[in-house]
Amino acid sequence: MHDDDLVIVGAGPYGLSVAAHAAARGLSVRVHGQLMRSWRDMPAGMLLKSEPWASDLSDPAGAYRLAAYAATRGMRAEHGVPLPVGFFTAYGEWFARNAVPAVDPRTVVRVRPRPEGGFTVTTEDGEETGARTVALALGVAPFADVPAALRPLVPHLACHSSGHTDLTAFAGRDVTVLGGGQAALETAVLLTEFGARARVVARTRRLVWNTVPPPLRRSALEALRAPHTGLGCGWRNLLYARTPGVFRRLPDATREQLFGTALGPAGAWWLRRRFEAVADVRLGRAVVAASPAGRRGERVRLFLADGEGTGAPTAEVVTDHVIAATGFVPRLDRVDVLPEEVRAALRTVGGSGAPEVSGSFESSHPGLFVAGLLTAPSYGPAMRFVYGAAYTAERLVRGVERRLGAARRGAAVPGARARTAPDAAVTGVTGRSGRGTGAGARARG
């Protein structure tokens, strides 16, 4: 069995960026997955929440940024002008054609470590191939979180917001959207614009809206007060954007707390006026139970409680369908591609259930690397966005090279807490996009 130097599981922004860096370094690399699938499957009409200049995938020379793709289309990617998700999807496909070895569209169903080192990678059709190292760039799909009360109703009466490609199918129907972030708010707006009766139910007592981004060129004083970053303006965002390596060295409890609270749910500034068309918005409410309703159980009855949902129900809603825009939980127990015994043996970030990774994004299992959302509890909020792909790709590929060199020398490689060179500040404008809570926040692959 021939072993590739690196097999990448996932063909979204993170997987493609890692592949571009690996190929440029002369590694034999293979990429598996449907190209930009999560982005391609998003509903028509959705826009990127991030700025175009902060939505680049990463190649070592910086030759294939979003602005370069826009130029091939005779367009300009302008600050303050949101781009359609379909445009970003096409950009990712163009990036793959130019910067990445051919992508194998077959899904990887199992990655098994071998006793002698390396891995056996099995695809959906049963073919097995060898890999000296593996990088999991799984995106967000495996980590979609649906409230427990709704899970028995999935998929016919309830679903996660990431599971719908065509919201026009709900025209004329009553749909309840759960959540107060970009995904929930934009989904409700599109449903309304497509002719559905949309309702929003959210735990938060006040919706948060991002402000209009200031001009890129400002006075020195204005820039000092609120510096631009790929994660938005502000000094805290600057720290998250430029120093993920510092975040990794924080105590587990601190990282867990920041991961759960930093860059919380918020709607894009360009969506706020359109959201006024959503007539039924119920804030400070939580779904505590749900059951089929109607003569044939074709509808849903939701039981709502105040605040965090710890009390008795205080209201009911009967609706045709429920869309849970309730985010993503990056946990190893949702990584079905790895055998259970491997997942159980991996070191985690405190009680988060997410893998601890080294300064080169290597898990505690030698040769198993991780990229994207699954590393956010280790490296911080930047890894929830495509913005983190540049930081990840460069360091991960260096780690692969070190691992390959050590294996060839028969030497041990430092564990997950190995020290690495100091993190360089991110200079210039690099990429970020996604939609963790909306179409511009999540790191999809």
Q: How far apart are CA 339 and CA 335, in angstroms?
A: 9
Residues 273 and 346 in one domain: no
DSSP 338: S
Residues 182 and 289 in one domain: yes
Answer yes or no: are the C-beta atoms of 212 and 80 closer than 8 Å.
yes
- Domain annotation covers residue 260: no
Handedness of CA 130, 136, 139, 142 (dihedral sign): positive
Residues 159 and 122 in one domain: no
Q: How far apart are CA 118 and CA 87, in angstroms?
A: 38
Residues 161 and 304 in one domain: yes
- Domain annotation covers residue 253: no
What CATH number does the domain containing 173 carry?
3.50.50.60
Angle at 111 between CA 341 and CA 14, to 5 degrees: 115
Query: Considering only CA atoms, which of 14, 1, 23, 7 is closest in space to residue 104?
Result: 7
Q: How far apart are CA 221 and CA 214, in angstroms?
A: 13
- Domain annotation covers residue 430: no
Residues 8 and 68 in one domain: yes
Answer yes or no: are the C-beta atoms of 27 and 6 closer than 8 Å.
yes
Which residue segment(s) compose the domain that 312 sits in? 148-208+266-324
Residues 173 and 304 in one domain: yes
The contacts of residue 90 (CB under 8 Å, 6+ apart) are 69
Residues 132 and 158 in one domain: no
Residues 272 and 375 in one domain: no
Q: Report how many domains make up the chain.
A: 2
Q: Residue 80's pLDDT is what? A: 77
Residues 277 and 378 in one domain: no
Residue 149: what are its φ and ψ, rounded to 5°? Answer: -65, -25
Distances (CA, A) of 444 to 11, 175, 432: 9, 26, 11
Residues 169 and 190 in one domain: yes
Task: Profile the chain (445 residues) by mean pLDDT over runs of 10 residues.
Answer: 92 98 97 95 91 90 96 88 93 97 96 96 97 97 94 96 91 97 97 98 95 81 79 80 88 88 90 97 96 94 86 90 96 97 96 94 97 95 92 97 80 36 32 38 51
Residues 293 and 191 in one domain: yes
Residues 275 and 365 in one domain: no
Q: Choose the final residue of a domain: 298, 324, 350.
A: 324
- Domain annotation covers residue 230: no
Report the SS3 class of residue 242.
helix
Q: Choose the final residue of a domain: 324, 345, 365.
A: 324
Q: Residue 78's pLDDT is what? A: 84
Q: Where are the beta strands (DSSP E) in 279-405?
A: 280-283, 285-293, 299-306, 315-319, 321-324, 368-370
- Domain annotation covers residue 278: yes
DSSP string, 112-160: EE-TTSSEEEEETTS-EEEEEEEEE---SGGGB---GGGGGGTTTTEEE
Q: Residue 262's pLDDT is what? A: 84
DSSP 360: T
- Domain annotation covers residue 176: yes
Give me the residue label for tokens 């107060």: 180
Q: How far apart are CA 319 and CA 16, in angstroms?
A: 40
Angle between helical axes of 85-99 and 13-24 (0-180°, round to 10):
20
Phi-psi sector, 226: left (phi>0), alpha (psi -120 to 50), beta: beta
- Domain annotation covers residue 187: yes
Q: Residue 52's pLDDT is what? A: 83
Count CA atoms closer than 13 A to 444's CA, side-chain side.
Answer: 31
Q: pTM of the predicted model, to two decimals?
A: 0.88
- Domain annotation covers residue 158: yes
The contacts of residue 322 (CB under 8 Å, 6+ apart) are 150, 153, 157, 158, 159, 175, 176, 177, 178, 290, 300, 302
